[in-house]
Chain A
Amino acid sequence: SQTIHQWPATLVQPVGSPLSLECTVEGTSNPNLYWYRQAAGRGLQLLFYSVGIGQISSEVPQNLSASRPQDRQFILSSKKLLLSDSGFYLCACTGEIYNSPLHFGNGTRLTVT
C-alpha cells in the first residue's frame, strides 16, 4: 500500500517569503498526485493534480505553483506568500486500481504572519 511523506508538519512564514512543501510517495509507481488545501470549516480544495512527471494541472488561479520532478515527488511552491495562503496543505495520491481511494499524507500546517 502507498505511504505518503510530507514535510514539514508545521511551518510559520512571514508575508512575502517563499514557500516549498515537499511530498514523496512510496509503494506505488506512476501515481496520480494531488495538492489540497483545507480551511477551517470548509471542504478540501483541490489546488493541483498531476498524472505524470512534468504534467501539472491547476484548479484555481493563485500565487502557488506545483512541480513534479520525479515520478513519486510532488512539490508545492510560492515565490511570495500571502496571508490568505495560511491553511492545512495535504498531499494525496491514488493507486493503480480503478476507483481506489485517495491516500493522504499527514499534512503541513502553514501559518503566514
Chain B
Amino acid sequence: KNQVEQSPQSLIILEGKNCTLQCNYTVSPFSNLRWYKQDTGRGPVSLTIMTFSENTKSNGRYTATLDADTKQSSLHITASQLSDSASYICVVSDEEYGNKLVFGAGTILRVKS
C-alpha cells in the first residue's frame, strides 16, 4: 500500500532556530516528491518539487533533500520566522500529472518568539 509518513507530528521552536522535518514513503513506482506549506484555514502552497534524479532543492530558507534509495525526504528550515508557523505536507506522486498523489498527514510547526 502506498503510504507517506511524516515526523514529527508537531514541533515547537524558537524564532531564529533551524529545524528539519522528515518524510518517509513507500510509494512505488516513484515519480516526484513535493513539499507544501499550509497556513491555518488556507489551501496548501507548493514549496519544492523533486524528481528521482534530484537530491536537493532550495526555495529561500527552505531546503528539501531526497534519498530515493531509502525513500526518505527532509525539509530543512533555516533561521525560522514567526510566519513559518504552518503545517508542512509531504506529497509523493507515482503517476504523471498528479492524478495519484499520496499525501502525508503533515507536520505542524509553531515558531515562538
- Residue ranges of A at the interface with B (Cβ–Cβ < 8 Å): 4, 32, 34, 41-46, 49, 57, 90, 92, 94, 98-99, 101-107, 109
Task: State in angstroms the CA–CA spacing of A41 and B102 once bound together.
Answer: 15
Q: How many A-B residue pairs have CB under 8 A?
A: 55
Which residues of chain A are near B9, meaning CB under 8 Å?
A: 41
Shortest distance between the CB of B38 and any CB in chain A (Å): 8
Task: State in angstroms the CA–CA spacing of A99 and B96 once bound together.
Answer: 7
Find out whether the CB atom of A42 lies under 8 angstroms from the CB atom of B105.
Answer: yes
Shortest distance between the CB of B47 and any CB in chain A (Å): 9
**Partner among B42, B49, B103 whose Cβ is within 8 Å of the Cβ of A99:** B49
Chain A minimum-CB-distance residue to B98: A94
Find out whether the CB atom of B43 lies under 8 angstroms from the CB atom of A4.
Answer: yes
Which residues of chain B are near A4, meaning CB under 8 Å?
A: 43
- 12 sample A-B contacts, Cβ–Cβ < 8 Å, listed by A number: A32-B98, A32-B99, A41-B105, A43-B4, A43-B102, A43-B105, A45-B103, A90-B43, A92-B43, A99-B96, A101-B46, A106-B43
